[in-house]
Structure 1
Amino acid sequence: MMSPLLVSVALFMLVAFSIGGLLLVAVFPRLEAGKRTQGRMNSVAGVQNKASERVTGLTDDQRRRRSVEETIREIEETQRAKNRRHNKPTLVTRMRQGGLSWSRNAYFLFCAIAGIAGFIVGTLLIGLSLLPALGFAVALGLLVPHLYVGQRRKRRFKRFSNEFANAIDVIVRGIKAGLPLVDCLKVISTEAQEPVKSEFRQVVEDQTFGMPLSEAVARLPERVPVPEANFFAIVIAVQAKTGGSLSEALGNLSRVLRERKKMDGKIKAMSQEAKSSAAIIGSLPFVVGGLVGFVSPDYIKLLFTTSTGHMVMFGCAFWMFVGIMVMRKMINFDF
């Protein structure tokens, strides 16, 4: 029979390893995505540098094309510098991106409430001793607010991407009708749906306070770091420096955004079978455990009444979570 102290230490170590695994699963994909993005941008910049060195005897059309390429390269270099300085958004930035008006103290209060709730659940419902209950409370206090803010950010970015193409169409129609770009942005800031409405209102306010329009739009991807906002900022910056038909450029951007949305729908349809299989596999242990508890409750109650059973449940829950995260990584596609 294992001593209570040894069981408590083992449970605490298991909770600590679980927290480390959760943090690794949450942080590692972001680091890998950043490395892939940096590699693609470096390769594009290298190709453009080599091409510019071979260009001689430029015509007007070639000169304008080269000016556009140089402008895009400058924008990419600026974005890389910003990414190096702000590789990971701060806590306040993440909450603002999620549409939350919390302060830092409010977030920490939420963490404390989640931790207290975890301690109560661990001691009263699960029956843990003091040390494992503290580990369980720390895990919930750190993870629950972080996951909640991350889910809010993801949901808000998705709503922005779905509505952004319609906003671009409004700008295109307004420019073709003879309206200035600023007036088109004002129409979106009052008539569009959230969160596009509030983000374009911020752009209009920045421009009203004296900031150049291209710089005001360039701040949009910082608040909403999605590819659609980045594309829009690049188009506005290129048009401001090189000229050209803004309605045609934004029309092409609108088509690209809608094609990306169609591609996203096709990817979801193709991966739906794998997601259904993953859901079935993930739910099987709970279904089998419930059936065994219904047929033979004395056989399965050892998991809930003994310290060894608690260790087995924690270990199974941890490895199930790892397996679900691996399956999620396999069936989610980035494009």
Structure 2
Amino acid sequence: MLLPLLAAFLGFVVVAGLGFALAGPSSTASAKTLKRAQSVTGRDAAREAVRRPGGAQEQRRKQIVQTLKEQDRAQKKARLSIAARLKQAGLEISVTVFWIASAGLAVVAFLIALVLRQPPLIGIGLAFAAGLGLPRWVLGFLTAGRVKKFTAAFPDALDIVVRGIKSGLPVHDSLRVIAKESPEPLAGQFNRLVESVGMGMSMDQALEKMHAEMPTSEVRFLAIVLGIQAKTGGNLAEALGNLSSVIRARKLMREKVKALAAEAVASASIIGSLPPLVALLLFITAPDYVRLLFTDPRGHILLGIGAVWMTCGILAMRKMINFKL
């Protein structure tokens, strides 16, 4: 008798469970579930409303960063152009004259190779180096020397502005004193700055033009300080005095780094110059032994491979000893 009763009870439980599952919960439970869902939905909406302004700010920040990066890339591209580099080097020649001179050097190098009865491949390589490498190297050398002179005299120019402001002179008159009393290239740059401001250009635009001709961090710092002071006010003499101290501290740090890296620079110079010097000595002492490298096609291949590896090694050593502050 227990077995049929147990089977009937289990069947009732199964049918009741299926009915509850198919019919759903009761009205009271449904009301509680709906209220709970509404509260959760409202909470999520509130959280979304709170997050939305932050998301907009984050998106705005990303757009600003992207815009600044694009502007920085455009400025770097403009500074790397031949016209900008000629201005930075202080050369009063046009881009056309520069390319004509480069082409003339290439032709002269190729003719010298032909006169020395060198293979045409070597002549083309010399022409390429003389036409593209040598003028750009000279341009970079002149630019580096000019920037170094400008940076060395820049803190003294800021001190002139500070003393002029403390004595009651306007900023424009203090800049004019720098243009008259400072050495080149500082005098020329500030003279153009004063002329640009006198012709109606704003100080920010004039400093931006000055930075294009002399792309140094010091000019950028000066532009930032003057721009912030023009918008917020404050003691300009104190701000420029602090900037002068910072620039002198940067110069001192640069000299310390240069002194610490002097041993590495000397080692790299010796290692880089050893292979050409050894080849030159062998050519002087045993010319027949080395001449095969220049007369045999296999020697040309070996010279090319050696030049590639030497270039890679020199660039690697330069990267290791080049510290930028």
Which TM-score bucket, shorter chain as reference? 0.7 to 0.9
Instruction: Report SS of the residue matched to 1:87.
Output: helix
Aligned equivalent of 2:72, options 83, 90, 98: 83
Give distance in 2, aligned partners of 1:267 and 1:126.
Answer: 47
Q: Give the TM-score, by structure 1 length.
A: 0.72
Give distance in 2, aligned partners of 1:142 and 1:287.
Answer: 25
* Larger Rg, first or second structure (1 or 2): 2
Give distance in 2, aligned partners of 1:78 and 1:149.
Answer: 31
Q: Give the TM-score, by structure 2 length.
A: 0.74
Aligned to 1:264: 254
Query: How far does residue 112 in structure 1 lie from its aligned partner after superposition?
Result: 0.9
Instruction: Report SS of the residue matched to 2:91.
Output: coil
The 1:312/1:86 distance shift into structure 2, 3 A limit, reads same
Query: How far does residue 329 in structure 1 lie from its aligned partner after superposition?
Result: 0.9
Question: What RMSD, in angstroms, separates the aligned Cα atoms of the two structures?
Answer: 2.4
Give distance in 1, aligned partners of 2:267 and 2:189.
Answer: 39
Query: How far does residue 291 in structure 1 lie from its aligned partner after superposition?
Result: 3.5
The 1:94/1:295 distance shift into structure 2, 3 A limit, reads closer
Aligned to 1:247: 237
Aligned equivalent of 1:102, options 93, 98, 106: 93
Give distance in 2, aligned partners of 1:126 and 1:231.
Answer: 55
Give distance in 2, aligned partners of 1:84 and 1:291.
Answer: 47
Query: How far does residue 282 in structure 1 lie from its aligned partner after superposition?
Result: 1.3
Query: How far does residue 294 in structure 1 lie from its aligned partner after superposition?
Result: 4.3
Aligned equivalent of 2:155, options 159, 165, 178: 165
Aligned to 1:290: 280
- How many corresponding residue pairs? 262
- Structure 1's unaligned 5+ residue stretches are 1-49, 54-73
Q: Would you say the 8 A contact 2:114–2:123 is kept in 1?
A: yes
Aligned equivalent of 1:221, options 194, 197, 211: 211
Give distance in 1, aligned partners of 2:210 and 2:126.
Answer: 39
Query: How far does residue 166 in structure 1 lie from its aligned partner after superposition?
Result: 1.0
Aligned equivalent of 2:105, options 86, 98, 114: 114
Query: How far does residue 193 in structure 1 lie from its aligned partner after superposition?
Result: 1.1
- Is 2:111 aligned against 1:125? no
- Structure 2's unaligned 5+ residue stretches are 1-53, 58-63
Give distance in 2, aligned partners of 1:143 and 1:294.
Answer: 28
- Is 2:165 aligned against 1:175? yes
Q: Would you say the 8 A contact 1:214–1:240 is kept in 2?
A: no
Aligned to 2:324: 334
- Is 2:184 aligned against 1:191? no
Give distance in 2, aligned partners of 1:91 and 1:102.
Answer: 11
- Residues 20-35 of structure 1: matches in 2 within 5 Å? none
- Seq. identity, %: 41
Instruction: Report SS of the residue matched to 1:301.
Output: helix
The residue type paired with residue 232 of structure 1 is L
Point out the more displaced range, 119-128 or 104-113: 119-128
Point out the more displaced range, 236-245 or 156-165: 156-165
The residue type paired with residue 148 of structure 1 is V
Q: Would you say the 8 A contact 2:84–2:212 is kept in 1?
A: no
Aligned to 2:301: 311
Give distance in 2, aligned partners of 1:169 and 1:316.
Answer: 53
Point out the more displaced range, 153-162 or 184-193: 153-162
Aligned equivalent of 2:133, options 132, 143, 152: 143
The 1:244/1:192 distance shift into structure 2, 3 A limit, reads same
Point out the more displaced range, 187-196 or 314-323: 314-323
Q: Would you say the 8 A contact 1:293–1:301 is kept in 2?
A: yes
Query: How far does residue 154 in structure 1 lie from its aligned partner after superposition?
Result: 2.1
